A and B are shown apart, each in its own frame.
Chain A
Amino acid sequence: MVDVNRLAESWALVSAHGDQVPLRFYGRLFVAHPELRDLFPISMAAQRDRLVRALGLVVSQAGQLEAITPFLQELGREHRRFTATPEHYAAVGEALLDTIADFLGDLWTPELAGDWVQAYRLVGRVMIEAADDAAHTPAWWDTEVLDRDQRTFDITVLTVRPDGAYPYVPGQSMAVETALRPRLWRYFSPANAPRADGTLDLHVRRVPGGPVSSALVDQVDVGDRLRLGAPIGRDLTLRPTGGRDLLLIAGGTGLAPLKALVDQVVGDPLRAGASTVRLFVGARTVRELYDLDHLRELADRHPWLVVVPVVSDDDHHPHADGMVADIALLRSPDPLGHEIYVCGSREMVEGTRARLHAAGCPPERVHHESFVGLADGLDKPDGIDGLPGMPGLGTPGLGTPGLGARIRGVGEGTGIDGGAAHLESER
């Protein structure tokens, strides 16, 4: 049995050394196994943050690891993308113990080593088993770019086709990598339901200073290849509504998964049980309503679909003015009776959830996901990424209640409805 308190105390002491700990860890790992360096990106700052947060999470949950088992499992599956093998886990475990011993000095005892070994083995086993269970599916999909449509100078819609069947559910996301930025993955959500031709529409916003989003928005061209990870996440997939209407609230490129939900309803003869679908699309300026024409066309074709563009920071525009959440509440008859889906930047999602809560919307009917800088800490209601030193980026949906929205790639940029141009680093 792991002595949870002892483990937590030792971690508290070690983590007080901050960035030095993961710096030493990766130093040790790569000295012992230089061939592993190539599995990681050039800049490791984000990776170090992730490692520390992950270790902190495991230590804090060490007494009841079952609580984070779904998370660990998905993380294990995600690590298949990086060609992680059980040998890698062993190397990582060694480097981890050596690093902790370095920082604890005389306080490092055989009993404490036993705690850490046990905790690490438990975590590693869950991850490896989950990866093995998924071994019959591809670890990644090679994908071709069929079309690029630059809608504004920082938003491009890429139409891509994975080689081979890519089974996903509208509302899910996947990690994407371009050869222009090797070993950097960002999460995106297809803006359409699965099509016969297998194509996916990705809405990409360039994050200022972001290496991946800038490559995807500006440089990736027709014929280029991308890699996609497995589809993950269940926070935004359509639940049975029990006859309730759908209220979809989008900020910026948070539109993508919600548009996929609309697409799903379009193809559903039962319309998912809803008689009306209301889509409120928020942007700071008119210019940033990048999909308006297509959405209008959809609304024209389907009388049960209502699309309302909302602009918060522009003058001279014909659309609804204000915060998208406020307009959504104002213009929906009986918002409390809707099944609500929210997607956008963290500010936008949190602001929207607060307004919905204040209006009395039952939380179990508000489904949300935000995309955030991966550098954010664990105290936010977002997931974490990467466990013991593996080149993991982005988090799978945590799945367990109370662990909140999942981190998605900042490659989607920051839906900046909400006023503040919250320009987060893409890490």
Chain B
Amino acid sequence: MSTNDPTGGGPLPRHMSPDQVRNTSFARTARGRRGFAEDEVERFVHRLADEMARHEADKMRLLDENRRLKQAMRDWQSRQVADPAVDLQQRVTADAAALMARAQQHIDAQVAQAELYCRQREQEAVQHYDEIVREARAQAAREADQVARHYRDAAGADYSADKERIERQRVYIRAMLKALDAVGDHLQATRSAFAVEVTKLDDWLDTPELPAGPALTD
């Protein structure tokens, strides 16, 4: 037998490699004893060795895959343990940020509404003022025309263009003053009403249990 003697000598090796199988040689039978055809045995041994080699390769591949899978499993597990805390924190922060953003939008809408209201009131006030002045001027001009006509009709020979002009202006100015006084009275009344409101607010602000100061002017 060859070096790796499977049949004689020491104990069998635990795993035979394909090469070991190929290199195994067998004792010949004694003359006249029945034995197997040499070349058939040869062929079979080689086939066996090839099978073994194939299985060896498969085994290595499966072992490798198994190793990889085990590692992946461990990785995933360790991720599951660390991430929940981080994920939760990130989710909480994002939620808090979104909540704050919604609150801010609410405030912005209220401020925008207040500013729009002010803008509209002021525009109305300006338009109103313009109308008042225009109307007052028109009215004053009418009165001046009327007086001028009366003067012309009454003056006859004593007519003087200068005198007409002076009469006209006098009446015009008087009419304007009267109109503006009326507006002034109206504004004064409005002013008084506002003054009352402000006093009420001041009293409210001065009430001890309420925080006064900047918070209310914001």
Chain A residues within CB distance 8 Å of chain B = 20, 23-24, 26-28, 30-32, 42-45, 98, 102, 153-154, 179-182, 206, 208-211, 214, 316, 423, 425
Contacts and interface: CB of A to CB of B under 8 A. Distances in A.
Contacts, number: 69
B120 to A, nearest CB: 8
B195 interface: no
Nearest to A207: B119
B108 A423 contact: no
Contacts of A180: 217
A22 B100 CA distance: 12
B53 interface: no
A208 B93 contact: no
Contact of A42 (B99, B118, B218): B218
13 contacts: A26-B100, A26-B101, A27-B97, A27-B98, A27-B100, A27-B104, A31-B97, A32-B93, A42-B111, A208-B122, A208-B123, A425-B115, A425-B119
B73 interface: no
A238 B80 CA distance: 69
Main secondary structure of the interface of B (DSSP, over half): helix
A27 B108 CA distance: 14
A23 B123 contact: no
Nearest to B217: A180
Contacts of B115: 209-211, 425
B173 interface: no
A43 B115 CA distance: 11
A24 B119 contact: no
A23 B100 CA distance: 8
Contacts of B100: 26-27, 30-31
A137 to B, nearest CB: 28
B108 A44 contact: yes
Nearest to A28: B97
A102 B218 contact: no
A316 B136 CA distance: 14
Interface in B110-141: 111-112, 115-120, 122-123, 126, 129, 137
B160 interface: no
A364 B93 CA distance: 53
Contact of A31 (B96, B112, B126, B214): B96
Interface string B123-163: 10010010000000100000000000000000000000000
Contacts of A45: 108, 111-112
Q: Please name the 7 residue pairs, one residue from A and one from B, whose CB atoms are nearest each other, closest first.
A: A209-B119, A27-B97, A27-B101, A43-B111, A23-B101, A208-B119, A27-B100
A209 to B, nearest CB: 3
Given A27-B96, A28-B93, A182-B218, A43 B116 contact: no
A23 B108 CA distance: 11
Nearest to A180: B217
A49 to B, nearest CB: 11
B94 interface: yes
A208 B112 CA distance: 12
B105 to A, nearest CB: 7
A20 B117 CA distance: 26
A182 B93 contact: no
A43 B101 contact: no
A220 B218 CA distance: 16
Contacts of A28: 93, 97
B122 to A, nearest CB: 4
A24 B98 contact: yes
B107 interface: yes
Interface centre among A154, A209, A214 (most CB of B within 10 A): A209
B94 A423 contact: no
A43 B97 contact: no
Contacts of B107: 42-44
